[in-house]
Amino acid sequence: ELLLIDFLGNVRSMLQHSYRYPAPRETVDFVSNGMRQMRGELTPAQDKRIAGLGIAMPFELWNWADTAGAPRDVMDEWRHRDIRADIQAQCDFPVYLQNDATSACGAELVFGQAGAARDFVYFYIGAFAGGGIVLNGRLFGGPTGNAGALGSMPVPGPDGKPTQLIDVASIAMLEKALNARGIEASHLWTSPEDWGEIGPELDGWIASASRALAYAIVAASSIIDFEAAVIDGWMPKAVRRQLVDAIIAAIATIDGEGLKLPAIREGTVGIHARALGGASLPLSERFLIGSTTISRSA
């Protein structure tokens, strides 16, 4: 996704492109062509007011070749590419980089309806599952920007053996289940507002993902007594509601003695949270005290 937003977070223009798996060259080409198109629709005065460009993307993509179902040699290209620098070379304004799930968490904090919660753990379920942390009303990225790397949290897999959250709760796992039955699954990416009737594969994915997310929430709560755990993702609102209900039910079966467990609720920004959070990075860098953006030289 490529978004052009104003100071209030209103989306003025949006472009989307679906691909089988992320490749550096295709990604840079999409951004370059999209920027050219969007800037061509602005007046000279509007163009001069562009504050910058923010990139929201998973870190260390080369580690997720199997999860993405991508050729390892293609994913290895990410290891040797500095996407921020590649895009910066084409821009006359600053370019920032942040983990995509952290960006989604930031969007929930700034543009969402977080209510009175000043400390919450946030999960964004996209192609990959990930998350972020808000402490004292501020997004916490840590010294490298990778704090709240919840996709890497150890959880029980469907077989009971330890695995990572990303290998259970990611939508890529639902896609694999559908493909294994010969069901075309591109609508998971192209139609996030309405997946239609998927059937038992969706039920199975929700059962596995909710159990893994429940364990992740309980584990996170053993370190910080979060007020809330927020769940959002690239999915229809009805599916998000099912997932949250299943998480609440799963947590009730886990021994949480000695812990103050958070309230579980749905996110309020929705499917575009990652892109909106990324697009707002230049504004956060300029105007928000305690900004958590990764510096332009990172």
Check residue 114 and give its pLDDT.
Answer: 61
In angstroms, the Cα distances linking 26 to 22, 30, 57, 285 are 8, 6, 14, 27
Is the CB of residue 18 less than 8 Å from the CB of residue 186? yes
Residue 113 carries which side chain, given as an amino acid letter?
A: Q
Can you give the pLDDT at residue 142?
A: 85
- For residue 293, what pLDDT is reported? 46
Pairing of strands 162-164, 154-156: antiparallel
> Can you give the pLDDT at residue 285?
82
Mean pLDDT, consecutive 10-residue stretches, the chain (298 aa), reads 91 89 90 96 95 91 80 89 94 93 91 82 95 92 84 93 96 94 92 92 97 98 95 97 98 94 96 93 75 43
The predicted structure's pLDDT at residue 288: 64
- The answer for residues whose C-beta is within 8 angstroms of residue 128's C-beta and 6 or more apart is 58, 64, 67, 68, 101, 151, 166, 170, 172
User: 205 — phi, psi (to 5°)?
Assistant: -65, -45
Distance separating alpha carbons of residues 268 and 105, to the nearest angstrom = 11
281 with 238: CB under 8 angstroms?
Answer: no
Summarised one tens digit per residue, pLDDT across range 175-219 is 999 999 999 999 999 999 999 989 899 999 999 999 999 999 999
Q: pLDDT tens digits, residue range 64-103?
A: 777 777 888 888 999 989 999 999 999 999 999 998 999 9
DSSP code of residue 143: T
* Residues whose CB falls within 8 Å of the CB of residue 259, separated by 6 or more in sequence, listed in order: 218, 221, 222, 225
Domains of the chain: 2-100+274-287 (no CATH), 102-270 (3.30.420.40)
The confidence score (pLDDT) of residue 64 equals 76
Amino acid at 179: N
pTM of the shown model: 0.88
CB 103 within 8 A of CB 294: no
**Cα separation of 171 and 180, whole Å?**
14
**Own/partner pairs for 29-37, CB < 8 Å, 24+ apart?**
30/2, 31/2, 31/87, 32/87, 32/90, 34/2, 35/2, 35/90, 35/91
Distances (CA, A) of 230 to 43, 109, 250: 39, 11, 15
**What count of other Cβ atoms lies within 10 Å of the Cβ of residue 115?**
12
CA distance 213 to 18: 26
**Contact indicator for 247, 282 with CB cutoff of 8 Å:** no
